A and B are shown apart, each in its own frame.
Chain A
């Protein structure tokens, strides 16, 4: 069993598991932090961005000034943003049989894998994962395609040139594999390969293994996966949460008794408690708006935004913000808000029960009805007519490199009355803000990450007790910025095995058993013999028939009869020869009694020596030794067959035959 690790990002994993002749890809995350190296794509022509000076080398060589621009001491690539794909060279991805998706954030690289690697398998995901994943992809494609950029920079990627660039461009990894965003056509084609599954549904893969999605409590339709055969169980835990937010709670019990537990997608901000952060978010929002400023919340169109809107629903009246408009701007805003209301079966119990009243499970429906929350596909069109300040705007993309958020950053960045509040933990907010410097608006960092923290992980591991834990290397040491926090790492026994990008891990357990069926007529013919109370043995002579990873014992062919026709002869040739079997022996030889028996039969001068594995009985006179071990007995005598047979018969007296 092997694990191929294709992604270095612990919360955007992409691993391939080879298990019992199947090749299973676990998640398909796309690392978008690479886009932070690029200049933002403004929706409206931005004189500031277009007038940024080109970057030149220390010696004044300016051959890169078309590709690289400088802003407040940072250098950015002036090109269409590119993404860092999972490793494609480590394993032939056309051999992947299935892809299991755990949540909508972890499938963003899917079109790259399914459309460009010769992949012919199936993708499994829950319905909300697929639908919301589609929205995220659609938004991404839309953000990038609606601002066409002629230039595509590639010169800087040359290894010799990259060395000369300032950080962080110099340290960017695998730049040659960075790719531009996929198209909508590729998205549709990739999504058409998805087969929808429900929680606890058992899916057979080639008869060899069974995979089952379990609720992981992190997002609508998010799942952990169990991959098991009859005797082995691998759990894949990715992006799970024990907090009570909107999704169905996490199913922990089904993870018990795993041989291997692959653990990814823990919280990216282990020191921040989501409740505190939500409080911080609300306080800063209210403070800004009361002072007449605007609030910008860069966010994804689904996920935490539902919880934020719910908190604000409870908070705005008490904070006297009832008259402040909330705008949600995304090409998929409408679909996202509507979708969230129809996935009742994937929601937590409270929200499910609302559906029976019947009421919409999320209160943002009421916010929309009362005109407190308005949503628009983009800043163009209706929005510009309705726009009124001060206001709160939720919009993407959290990287601040594309989407409507770029416009608001340019618009509001100059006033210290306004605030940008970062809630998504995927991007470093300082790096995200770098191309907007100097910036007067206030920046608040309230990362809300509901995924498991290390305390919860240690409780989970104690409860489900896997034999081995496998996790990204980042989880086996404290975060670099808090190297003394020994509590911010996975602590388990035996220590977790860690992996990093482009590494192949041999998982530490051997398969020892295989389930084999016995045909009824063969079973009928068995004659069990009780060797101990409760344990019976029978010898079986049969033909092992293996097809589609299923093994069946069939009755052996009848003793060969003289062939009557050509056809039969051919058949009998295929049948293996059935040899006459020697009887099998069982039991143990009590040394003292054996020696007494030997003496009774005329052997004298017997010595017994203890060895590490058993005993050696020395018949000094006969120059013979009998080696008795747990699973073998040897009689070593010098070419005296009669003596050997005599001794053998004495040995056999102590053993049972069947």
Chain B
């Protein structure tokens, strides 16, 4: 049974914290068993076995060489020697799985151990590793690359001396463009790496896009990404060999470049303009609007036409490229290609979603001027063309499209809802009306997004009816609509969305809410307390917390190490406010949530009550001395009420009684209990024992891997 084998390894792992365990491990033959377990059919067991080997090796070396590194591997402890010999043998093996196992052990070792002995280890094992590159095909390429990168990240080695950079450079030039991509990215992520190698690695990532530019650029034009670098023919072959190879290489390259741009190690200077040009070209190859100048361009056009995967990857990267500074004409080209993608009936729902995301990023970054978050004139022109498209998308028969259009709209309003030009453009379109209509959409996800959009529109005073300020009824209408959704919608998502909107409205002091906050909170809590969806209940607690914070001030920090600043004494809650809390009934809601069968809800309720208790410590009434109810009895009452789900458990208690109950509960204890993860039961020794007993009962191998 895999769980028993896994448990056995975990047991050894615990054992191997003590140096004296080394003898036991070496003498008992346990190490040989671990070697065998590296090839276990259960991947979890195999991985744990390989981790254990690293652990034992580290322990042995730690014990053996407390001071300076033992330069002679022969003088290493027997246990370590045994493991190293095994790894070395495996590296020489013809069987790829064994090579992979050895490489995995080494990768973990260099990733985890940074003692000087790892340098000696690399000195001994780098020749067999180098030999692996001579084989054709290279075995376990991915593990090999992981190892090289793991070694390169280690701080212990003197790379120049150990020839690692040469090995990396050779590998980059030997591997196929698709294989070399991840290694190039890993190399660029290294902190100390010769500039020459970085240039080479960056070249590997740029090569496919350079090929695309070359195949589609008519005139020599502006300088491209790379000029006549060796290896480009390999890339061209990869791009043209088959559709899957071309798509795979492009998607991988775009994803790597996207990741790279967001890193501090991002190469400088970053070729923003050609990269943007290449990405726009790829998108245009996908939508068939490029007029290719070469036969290769023609073939690419055929291969990439309508290719959803490449479109998605290119749109992701395009979004990231919005961070850089680009010339205006190129920005306009980006807007044009985005509009085309958003408009095209051929765009699939996932492509549209990515296009919406990229559009948002470009709108945010298109015109960065200090102290100005306004939309640029170009962006405004773009919006003018975008709204009719958005209108159409909001009517799409495909719910995913309606959903992502609504999400996009919500973001737009959140960013520019206050800007006059934007408001005017939005108002002149049918978009707000359509968005409001989607509150009745048959698809729950769409209803949820429509709730978010309607909430945002209302927050910004942009609701569908044109005369919003003069027409408070329309506003009230939305509040009632959302209340209706909260109490009647059969799906959880729209109800959650309503609570998110309500919480935001409460936090921002939305006019409809502050008109009668008590009624608002009471109605919401009443609806939420009966909800079957735990996230709705949790959101309800969040709303209650916002309400309390607004009345009582921020929670005090509980960090024991912070220097106690002279705390501005938070206002003591007015007794009338406590009355209100009882009337809402917020106390009752929180107490019931404390016993919620869903742990996060109970945790949240616990935090809320702790906050309340904290804020009301000074409100102790005369009953404090001995009148407080017994905590066990309170819990019993709550439990009974929970089971019955009927009536008011605590009756119409006075605030003093509530506070007394609050103080009598062991909230800290409960918090500790709830903080334990739900699998602590499964991980207990008792559970393992049960598994072992079960194995004795069922001798045959159980294929199912419960871990």
Contact of B301 among A280, A284, A484 (CB under 8 A): A484
Q: Is A282 located at the chain interface by the 8 A CB criterion?
A: yes
Contact of B397 among A271, A273, A319, A487 (CB under 8 A): A319
Q: Is B560 located at the chain interface by the 8 A CB criterion?
A: no
Q: 1/0 per residue A307-340: CB within 8 Å of B?
A: 0000100110111100000000000000000000
B348–chain A nearest beta-carbon distance, Å = 8
Q: Is A531 located at the chain interface by the 8 A CB criterion?
A: no
Contacts of B437 in A (CB 8 A): 290, 320
Q: Is A650 located at the chain interface by the 8 A CB criterion?
A: no
Number of residues from A at the complex interface, CB < 8 A? 28
Q: Is A393 located at the chain interface by the 8 A CB criterion?
A: no
B395 touches A486 (CB 8 A): no
A288–chain B nearest beta-carbon distance, Å = 9
B385–chain A nearest beta-carbon distance, Å = 16
Q: Is A505 located at the chain interface by the 8 A CB criterion?
A: no
Contact of B305 among A276, A319, A487 (CB under 8 A): A487
Contacts of B392 in A (CB 8 A): 280, 283-284, 287
Contact of B395 among A272, A290, A482, A485 (CB under 8 A): A290
B345 touches A280 (CB 8 A): yes
Q: Is B298 located at the chain interface by the 8 A CB criterion?
A: yes
Contact of B398 among A279, A482, A484, A487 (CB under 8 A): A279
Asked whether A485 and B345 contact (CB < 8 A) given A311-B397, A318-B441, A320-B437, the answer is no
Q: Give CA–CA (A450, B23) in the complex, Å.
A: 74
Contacts of B391 in A (CB 8 A): 287
Contact of B440 among A278, A282, A320 (CB under 8 A): A320
Contact of B396 among A273, A282, A317, A486 (CB under 8 A): A282
A174–chain B nearest beta-carbon distance, Å = 34
Interfacial residues of chain B within 264-297, with CB under 8 A of chain A in the complex:
288, 290-292, 297
Q: Is A471 located at the chain interface by the 8 A CB criterion?
A: no
Asked whether A484 and B345 contact (CB < 8 A) given A279-B398, A315-B397, the answer is no
Contact of A283 among B301, B395, B433 (CB under 8 A): B395
A287 touches B395 (CB 8 A): yes
A402–chain B nearest beta-carbon distance, Å = 29
| A278, A482, A486: residue with the most chain B Cβ atoms closer than 10 Å | A486
Contacts of A271 in B (CB 8 A): 288, 346
Q: Give CA–CA (A271, B437) in the complex, Å.
A: 33
B306 touches A273 (CB 8 A): yes
Interfacial residues of chain B within 521-556, with CB under 8 A of chain A in the complex:
none
Q: Give CA–CA (A94, B344) in the complex, Å.
A: 50
Asked whether A290 and B434 contact (CB < 8 A) given A315-B397, A487-B302, the answer is yes
Contacts of A277 in B (CB 8 A): 345
A278 touches B397 (CB 8 A): yes
The interface residues of chain B, by DSSP majority, are classed as loop
A486 touches B397 (CB 8 A): no
Contact of B430 among A291, A317, A319, A486 (CB under 8 A): A291
Q: Give CA–CA (A291, B433) in the complex, Å.
A: 10
B340–chain A nearest beta-carbon distance, Å = 13
Contacts of B344 in A (CB 8 A): 276
A322–chain B nearest beta-carbon distance, Å = 11
A286 touches B301 (CB 8 A): no
Q: Is B232 located at the chain interface by the 8 A CB criterion?
A: no
Q: Is B29 located at the chain interface by the 8 A CB criterion?
A: no
Interfacial residues of chain A within 262-294, with CB under 8 A of chain B in the complex:
271-273, 276-280, 282-284, 286-287, 290-291
Q: Give CA–CA (A278, B299) in the complex, Å.
A: 29
A486 touches B288 (CB 8 A): no
Contacts of A250 in B (CB 8 A): none
Interfacial residues of chain B within 390-411, with CB under 8 A of chain A in the complex:
391-393, 395-399, 401
B397 touches A282 (CB 8 A): yes
Q: Is B442 located at the chain interface by the 8 A CB criterion?
A: yes
Contact of A485 among B301, B393, B430, B441 (CB under 8 A): B301
Contacts of A280 in B (CB 8 A): 345, 392
A482 touches B397 (CB 8 A): no
Q: Is A446 located at the chain interface by the 8 A CB criterion?
A: yes
Q: Is B443 located at the chain interface by the 8 A CB criterion?
A: yes
B442 touches A272 (CB 8 A): no
Q: Closest A residue to B297 by CB, please name it.
A: A484
B19–chain A nearest beta-carbon distance, Å = 66
Asked whether A486 and B299 contact (CB < 8 A) given A279-B345, A282-B396, the answer is yes
B397 touches A283 (CB 8 A): yes
B397 touches A279 (CB 8 A): yes
A273–chain B nearest beta-carbon distance, Å = 5
B242–chain A nearest beta-carbon distance, Å = 14
Asked whether A317 and B442 contact (CB < 8 A) given A283-B393, A283-B395, A284-B392, the answer is yes
Q: Closest B residue to A287 by CB, please name it.
A: B395
B345 touches A486 (CB 8 A): no
A275–chain B nearest beta-carbon distance, Å = 9
Q: Give CA–CA (A320, B430) in the complex, Å.
A: 16
Q: Give CA–CA (A485, B303) in the complex, Å.
A: 10
B395 touches A318 (CB 8 A): no
A286 touches B345 (CB 8 A): no
Q: Is B376 located at the chain interface by the 8 A CB criterion?
A: no
Q: Is B62 located at the chain interface by the 8 A CB criterion?
A: no
| B290, B291, B346, B433: residue with the most chain A Cβ atoms closer than 10 Å | B346
A454–chain B nearest beta-carbon distance, Å = 9
Contact of B443 among A286, A287, A318 (CB under 8 A): A318
B440 touches A486 (CB 8 A): no
Contacts of A482 in B (CB 8 A): 288
B395 touches A282 (CB 8 A): yes
Contacts of B443 in A (CB 8 A): 318
Contacts of A486 in B (CB 8 A): 298-299, 301-302
Contacts of B301 in A (CB 8 A): 484-487
A452–chain B nearest beta-carbon distance, Å = 16
A276 touches B302 (CB 8 A): no
Contacts of A286 in B (CB 8 A): 395
Contact of A272 among B291, B305, B346, B347 (CB under 8 A): B346
A276 touches B345 (CB 8 A): yes
Q: Closest B residue to A317 by CB, please name it.
A: B442
Q: Give CA–CA (A320, B301) in the complex, Å.
A: 40
B351–chain A nearest beta-carbon distance, Å = 11
Contacts of A318 in B (CB 8 A): 397, 399, 441-443
B299–chain A nearest beta-carbon distance, Å = 7
A484 touches B292 (CB 8 A): yes
Q: Give CA–CA (A314, B442) in the complex, Å.
A: 11
Q: Closest A residue to B388 by CB, please name it.
A: A287
Q: Closest A residue to B347 by CB, please name it.
A: A276
B241–chain A nearest beta-carbon distance, Å = 16
Q: Give CA–CA (A282, B395) in the complex, Å.
A: 8
B345 touches A446 (CB 8 A): yes
Asked whether A319 and B306 contact (CB < 8 A) given A272-B346, A291-B430, the answer is no
B282–chain A nearest beta-carbon distance, Å = 16
Contact of B345 among A272, A287, A315, A487 (CB under 8 A): A272
Interfacial residues of chain A within 477-525, with CB under 8 A of chain B in the complex:
482, 484-487
Contacts of B393 in A (CB 8 A): 283
Contacts of B395 in A (CB 8 A): 282-284, 286-287, 290, 319
Q: Give CA–CA (A273, B287) in the complex, Å.
A: 12
Not counting A283-B392, A290-B430, a sample of 17 additional A-B residue pairs whose C-beta atoms are within 8 angstroms of each other reads: A272-B346, A276-B346, A277-B345, A278-B397, A282-B395, A283-B393, A290-B395, A315-B397, A317-B442, A318-B397, A318-B441, A484-B298, A484-B301, A485-B298, A485-B302, A487-B303, A487-B305
| Subset of 25 A-B contacts with CB under 8 Å | A271-B346, A276-B344, A276-B345, A276-B346, A276-B347, A278-B397, A279-B396, A280-B392, A283-B396, A287-B391, A287-B395, A290-B395, A290-B437, A291-B430, A318-B442, A318-B443, A319-B395, A319-B397, A446-B345, A484-B290, A484-B291, A484-B292, A485-B298, A486-B302, A487-B302
The 8 A-B pairs with the shortest beta carbon distances in the complex, nearest first, are A487-B302, A280-B345, A276-B345, A286-B395, A282-B397, A283-B395, A318-B442, A486-B298
Residue ranges of B at the interface with A (Cβ–Cβ < 8 Å): 288, 290-292, 297-299, 301-303, 305-306, 344-347, 391-393, 395-399, 401, 430, 433-434, 437, 440-443
